[in-house]
Amino acid sequence: MKTKYSYKDIVLQPSYSDIKSRSELDVSKEFLGRRFNSVAIPANMKCTIDFDKALQLSEAGYFYILHRFYDYDQILKWVEDSQLIRTISISLGVNNKDYKFIDKLVNRDLRVDFITIDVAHGHHLLVKEMIEYIKYKCKFTQVIAGNVGTPNAAKDLISWGADAVKIGLSMGKSCTTYNCTGVGTPMFSTVEAVAQHLSEDIPIIADGQIREVGDVCKALVAGASMVMIGSEFAKCEDSPADIIGGPAVGNTNKKVFFGSASSTNKGHDGYVEGQTVVLDMRDETYLQYLERINQGIQSCMSYGGNKDINKLNLMDYAIHTNN
């Protein structure tokens, strides 16, 4: 059995560089025909994205994916009110209410630029049927589908009509899928394997296991186009995550972060594969964190002598693991 590696098992290797100023390197990224100011995306979860954050990120030139856990009438109203913003990007599931929502978008002639089919196990018949329905009904909408964890699954999503794939199972800080089921995806090796089996023009979103800015760089080296981050965005002072404080948490401000499959989010205890965790709040906004990520990528490119963010996947790396 081939050993597979997580980001923490990987060390990127430096190369000769003739880059005189890393601050001049372009770390913007083209994704599905549009250019965004960073590869980083807040996870499409209640604790990391809401209507206000979506608007802020859109107007600042960043990509986002709105979560699907609002009442759908609220999402529809937000889409209606947002027809003039730069980017309208939402999530849906694969149930009857999701089909009805698509019908309402079409009947009201509403523009949606990106729809992410957001389910725990994306290599599934119901995802295939939803991709086909969206592509049939919404001719100008790009479809992101996931989450999946194998090259065959990613290839199937593309053959079903998806424009991009989202990779990662059980790797988030609040996810307990691995604990409950034994299923998971060591992220570096998984992203690398998928990238090697897909055409270079198929975008991959690496979703999960980001703990440091360097992990974002490693995801790009593995072959990701964009990188989704949950807990590290939730820690920001302006995240939608609830703030708690006082003696019970050491008299410091904390952020409450919970998984989409947690009982907190689902409202019941059936098939729970997520948990609620308390995080130290950072004195940093989303825009400041995104800038810190961009600077980290610039430095990584400089260490690798690489002037093109799209060629980071050619950077050498070494394995360091005690497993």
> Tokens 């964890």 map to which residue?
149
- Which regions of 81-194 does DSSP assign to beta strands (E)? 89-92, 114-118, 142-148, 164-167
The Cα-based distances of 184 to 144, 176, 205, 247 in angstroms read: 20, 10, 16, 36
Alpha-helix runs per DSSP H in 149-267: 151-160, 177-181, 187-197, 213-222, 231-234, 263-266
CA distance 191 to 168: 8
Sign of the CA dihedral with 239 first, then 242, 243, and 247 last: negative
Per-residue tokens: 5: 């590696």
Strands 40-42, 226-229: pairing is: parallel
Which DSSP string do the residues of 37-79 spell out, in sequence order? S-SEEE-SSTTT--HHHHHHHHHTT------S-S-HHHHHHHH
Catalytic residue numbers? 175
CB count in 10 Å sphere of residue 268: 7
Residue 30: beta bridge partners? 35
Question: What are the backbone angles phi and psi of residue 19, rounded to the nearest 5°?
Answer: -80, 120
Sign of the CA dihedral with 122 first, then 124, 130, and 135 last: positive
Give the alpha-carbon dihedral of 60, 63, 69, 72, to 10 degrees: 80
